[in-house]
């Protein structure tokens, strides 16, 4: 399907297709799509520090992602809109998967470097193991003091077991007390972190 000759129409079509592709890429990147993001227009690396060590600078290299597609002119002439959209969707999913894979690689490197991980040592999921995992996380709070719970990524095969353990934990008063105590601690950490940021600003 050839683009129309009119510049205004071309612009609308290109923008619509770009928006469609970006939306599909972001779907493939979940839960990273929920994270804050910045746009850097120059350079091949980004230098940043971490919350646990403001003086330590880390260098992160960018990684190129791309999706190649060779389309013969003869096929392009007879291509239907549906086929064109299917091609764009496939390539957008491919790029999104590459970006998500890279994000997980960077996350795993950071976790290993900081020692911010929990080794279950082959044991089954338990409410206490989940709390121990959450204790390693930085949890933000909204203006009303409610925690913004992190997104947990688990193996699909563990989904049913995880739901069962969560239901068991929610029904246990002792576990709820442990959870409330952890959230109180996290709120204090969050408030101290925000106060530090305001002093710097």
pLDDT tens per residue across span 72-107: 777 778 888 898 899 999 999 999 999 988 888 888
Q: Which residues pair with 59 in a beta bridge?
A: 47
| Cα(79)–Cα(181) distance, integer angstroms | 61
| Cα(197)–Cα(145) distance, integer angstroms | 18
Q: How confident is the model at residue 15 (pLDDT cuts 50, 70, 90)?
A: very high
- CB distance 52 to 114 below 8 Å: yes
Residue extents of the structural domains in the chain: 7-114, 127-200
Q: Which of 186, 184, 178 is nearest to 136 (CA)?
A: 186
| Cα(185)–Cα(171) distance, integer angstroms | 22
Least reliable range by pLDDT among 5-14, 39-48, 139-148, 182-191? 39-48
Terminal Cα distance for the chain, rounded: 53
């Amino acid at each position: 399907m050839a683009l129309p000759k009119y510049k205004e129409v071309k612009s609308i079509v290109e923008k619509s297709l770009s928006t469609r592709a970006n939306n599909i890429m972001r779907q493939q990147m979940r839960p990273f799509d929920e994270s804050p993001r910045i746009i850097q227009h120059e350079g091949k690396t980004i230098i940043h520090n971490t919350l646990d060590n403001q003086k330590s600078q880390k260098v992160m290299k960018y990684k190129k992602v791309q999706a190649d597609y060779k389309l013969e002119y003869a096929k392009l002439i007879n291509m239907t809109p549906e086929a064109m959209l299917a091609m764009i969707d496939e390539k957008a999913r491919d790029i999104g998967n590459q970006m998500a894979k890279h994000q997980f690689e960077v996350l795993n490197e950071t976790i290993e470097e900081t020692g911010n991980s929990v080794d279950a040592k082959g044991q089954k999921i338990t409410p206490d193991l989940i709390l121990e995992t959450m204790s390693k996380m930085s949890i933000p709070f909204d203006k009303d003091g409610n925690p913004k719970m992190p997104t947990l990524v688990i193996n699909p095969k563990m989904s049913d077991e995880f739901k069962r353990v969560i239901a068991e934990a929610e029904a246990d008063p002792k576990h709820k007390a442990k959870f409330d105590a952890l959230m109180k601690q996290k709120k204090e950490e969050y408030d101290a972190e925000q106060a530090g940021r305001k002093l710097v600003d």
